[in-house]
Structure 1
Amino acid sequence: MYAPQEDTRLLARAVRDEPRTPGAVVLDVCTGTGALALTAAAHGAAHVTAVDLSRRAVLAARWNARLRGLPVRAVRGSLLSAVPGRTFDLILSNPPYVPTPGPLPSGGAERAWRAGEDGRAVLDELCEGAPAALRPGGVLLVVHSALCGTERTVEMLRESGLSTRVVDREIVPYGPVMRRHARWLEERGLVEPGVQKEELVVIRAERA
């Protein structure tokens, strides 16, 4: 778990751009500190569930919700398997997406960002599972780096029958995690030598 960065801010803006729906039921997957779950609750959602594999993240989300008096329930688990059989009006996710060498960590802080050599270890599972958890008219909002393959995310969600598009983009300086892996990204040919910025994208997918 680490402090919210530009990707969280970008996705929070997309959440606030969504129409307010009385009684909306929201799921925030990979919640971290709970910042996005709290944004959804403050935006008028009636019931918000925040999910994370990290015990520390779940405790932080619970504490932050309590401090703000917002209706957020935080539970520990892996993506959609933490809420089996439930459906939602809005699913949010800022998942781990940083392309990194070596095996995925089984614990520790790096689990919050390491996502395999293509950055899609969590993204692909989310894209496969989220459509079935959306109610009719439900929306998925997900943010990630364009290095992970924006079109791949869009295509996966469209193949599941969702109306999908990129609703926001922003080029931002590398944060501490990206700077740490900059040389490896260059060696893999994922970025040009000397590049210290990445494009973040917010993808919106809606069930008919």
Structure 2
Amino acid sequence: MVTLPGVYVPQYDTQFLMAALDQEEMRPGSDVLDLGTGSGALAVRAAQLGGRVTAVDIAWRAVLTARLNAFLCRQRVMVRREDLTASVARRSYDIVLSNPPYVPAPGGLPPRHGQARAWDAGGDGRALVDRICDAAPAVVRPQGVLLLVHSDLCGTEATLRRLSRVGMRATVSERALVPFGPVVRSRLPWLRERGLIGDGQDREELVIIRAEHA
């Protein structure tokens, strides 16, 4: 995968979600939405599996990167520059994928510009995760599925409860312990002060949340 400067380089969380996608039954022509596509890695994989894929991102560089990677991989992907869930108003999908920003960050609101908006998600890390949960009933078709990856640092149980409140049946389908990346390491003192990381802790848990209509 090619990544232009300032675009999130696919890492373990991307691979983790891709493996979860590979386990889903993808019928030819299934409509797939990749929210916050970044490099387009997940969108390209969904297209390779036979999906009819729409990918969205708010960052122009991400849009260009995803289009370039779809072209290089010879896959048809519709890539749009849009706010995270703007597609909800237009249509619903069989599979909705998202690897959104989920790292808690000092300063309240997520950044509006720069590379950090690919991972910083407000003080509790839920600025984008909560929006995806709230949009799920409209954007996921009655027999469809939402696949969402994030760190336990932003609250796995909070995600399950929020999805349940909007009428989705959600479970943790996969868990993985991974070493802290450079972003988390750079703010360890702040995360410890918030009680999100314990003394001596050097790993975080990533989870795949799988949700369907209840």
TM-score for both structures, normalised by structure 2: 0.93
Aligned position for 2:3: none
Residue by residue, what CA displacement relative to the aligned partner does 1:87-111 show, whole Å, maximum 9, x if unpaired? 1000000000000101421111001
1:156 alignment partner in structure 2: 162
- Partner residue, 1:72: 77
Deviations 1:129-172 (A, max 9, x none): 12211112010000000111111111111222222110000000
Whether the aligned pair in 2 keeps the contact of 1:80 and 1:130 (CA below 8 Å) is no
C-alpha distance in 1 between matches for 2:160 and 2:168 = 9
* AA aligned opposite 1:68: C
Partner-residue secondary structure (3-state), 2:32: strand
* Equivalent position of 2:62 in the other structure: 57
Whole-angstrom distance in 1 between the partners of 2:49 and 2:82: 25
Matched length: 207
Question: Is the 8 Å Cα contact of residues 76 and 82 (structure 1) preserved in structure 2?
Answer: no
1:157 aligns to what SS in structure 2? Answer: helix
Stretches of structure 2 that go unaligned for 5 or more consecutive residues are: 1-6
1:138 to 141, 144, 162: 144
Using the size of structure 1 for normalisation, the TM-score is 0.96
Q: SS where residue 137 of structure 1 aligns?
A: strand
Match of 2:180 among 174, 177, 202: 174
Distance in 2 (CA, whole Å) between partners of 1:188 and 1:152 is: 17
Offset of residue 38 of structure 1: 1.0
Structure 1 residue aligned with 2:32? 26
> In structure 2, the residue corresponding to 1:200 is in which secondary structure?
strand
Structure 1, residues 165-198: CA drift from partner, whole Å, max 9, x if none? 1000000001111111112111211111232210
Picking from 20, 37, 45, the partner of 2:43 is: 37
- Quote the Cα distance in structure 1 between the aligned partners of 2:24 and 2:9: 24
Indicate conservation of the 8 Å contact 2:88/2:135, yes or no: no
> In percent, how many aligned pairs have the same letter?
53
* Letter aligned with residue 65 of structure 2: A
Q: Which runs of 4+ in 1 moved over 6 A?
A: none
Work out the CA distance in 2 between the residues paired with 1:20 and 1:87. Answer: 16
Q: Which runs of 5+ in 1 are unaligned?
A: none
Counterparts of 1:189 and 1:36, CA distance in 2 = 32
